Amino acid sequence: MDESKFSNLVSYFQCQNSYYRLAVASARDKRNKAIPAVRNFALSKNDNGKLSVDCECFTTPEECVARVGASFKADGTYKSHLDREIYSISSTFISESDLIRGVLYDPTIVDPPQKGKPQNFSHSLLDLVVSDPDELEPEICLRIREHAKDRRVVHDLDVTNHLVAIYRSHWD
C-alpha cells in the first residue's frame, strides 16, 4: 500500500478487505447482460467526487441490501431491495489506483432514529480524483466497474428478507 497517499489526510480510513457497492439490476440490464450497469458507478453533481460504499469490516451483504429495503423513496414508500446486487471493490485496488485518493469513513447516523432512514455504521466514501467535481468523468466509472464486475457478492435472500421485515416492523 502506498502510505503517502493517505499520510496527509488523517480522516482517510482503510479497511483491510473490501468495500461493497450496491447496484440496481434492472430487467433491461439483465436482458442486455449489462450487469453491473456503468450507471451504478457513476457520479452525479451532488456527489462532489465521492462514491458511496459500505465497508465490509462493519456489515454483512445481507445487512447492506436490507438497509435499502428499510429506506423510503421520495414518495414515502419503501424502496425495493429485490433488484439490488452487491459488488466488491478491493482495498488493494483502492490503494493502488491513481483514480482514488482514499476512503473517508462516513457513517450514516440518524439521531433521533427515524422510520425509513436506517442507521449505517459501515457507510464510507471513495474520494475520487476528479478535476472538477461538477463534471462527470466516465473513465473513473468505467475503471471501477471493470474491477468490480467480476466481484459480485452473493447474499442470502431469505436472511435479507428477514432483516427487512425486522427493520420495517420496528416502526409499526
* CA atoms of 109 and 42, how far apart (whole Å): 24
pLDDT at residue 16, as a whole number: 64
- Decide if pLDDT at 142 tops 60: yes
The residue among 103 and 9 whose pLDDT is bigger is: 103
Residue-wise over 35-66: b if at least 16 C-beta within 10 A, else e? bbbeebbbbeeeeebbbbbbbbbebbbbbbbb
pLDDT at residue 6, as a whole number: 40
pLDDT at residue 10, as a whole number: 35
Q: Looking at 18-27, 48-57, 71-80, 132-141, which range is the least confident one?
A: 132-141
Alpha helix stretches (DSSP H) within 33-86: 61-69
- Look at residues 115, 126, 102, 26 and name the one whose alpha carbon lies nearest to residue 76: 115
- Provide the whole-model pTM: 0.83
